[in-house]
Amino acid sequence: MTIQQLLKTAPITTLLLASFIGLFIMQILTGVDANNPSTEALLNWGANALPYTMQDQPWRLVSSAFLHIGLMHLLFNGFAMYFFGQIAEPMFGSAKFLALFLLAAIGGNLLNNYVTWQDIIAGTGQPGISAGASGGIMGIGAALLIAALFKISVNGMVLNLKSLIFIMGINLVYGFAVPGIDNAGHIGGAITGLIIALAFAIGYRQRLAVALQNAAIQQQRHINPYQTNYSYSTHDNTPYNHQYSDPYNDQHDNQAHYNANSIDQSPHLGANSTEQDTAFNDHDMNTSDMHPDTANSVTDIHSSLDNSAAHNSSIEPKALKKASFIWQLLPWIVMLLISIGFVWWWQDIHQQILQVLKAIE
Q: How confident is the model at residue 68 (pLDDT cuts 50, 70, 90)?
A: very high
Q: How confident is the model at residue 342 (pLDDT cuts 50, 70, 90)?
A: very high
Helices first, then strands: H and E counts in the chain: 14, 4
The pLDDT value recorded for residue 176 is 61
Q: Is the pLDDT of residue 121 over 60?
A: yes
The pLDDT value recorded for residue 60 is 97
Asked if 242 is an active-site residue, the reply is no
The pLDDT value recorded for residue 282 is 46
The pLDDT value recorded for residue 360 is 83
Select from 74, 59, 57, 85 the least CA-distant residue to 23: 74
Q: How confident is the model at residue 232 (pLDDT cuts 50, 70, 90)?
A: very low
Q: Nearest-5° angle of CA 97, CA 180, CA 44?
A: 70
Of residues 186, 242, 268, 313, which has the active-site annotation? 186
Of residues 63, 64, 134, 273, which has the active-site annotation? 134
- Least confident segment among 170-174, 194-198, 256-260: 256-260
Q: For 70-100, how does the pLDDT look when each residue is reduced to its tens digit (9 = 90+)?
A: 999 999 899 989 989 998 999 999 999 999 9
Q: For 20-36, how does the pLDDT look when each residue is reduced to its tens digit (9 = 90+)?
A: 999 999 999 999 999 99
Q: Is the pLDDT of residue 317 over 80?
A: no
Asked if 186 is an active-site residue, the reply is yes
Decide which of 121 and 166 is more confident.
121
The pLDDT value recorded for residue 195 is 96
Decide which of 211 and 39 is more confident.
39
Evaluate whether 144 touches 171 at the Cβ level (below 8 Å). Answer: no
Kindly state the percentage of the chain with pLDDT values over 70. 68
Q: Which residues contact 94 (CB under 8 A, 6 or more apart)?
A: 10, 11, 12
The pLDDT value recorded for residue 92 is 92
The pLDDT value recorded for residue 309 is 43
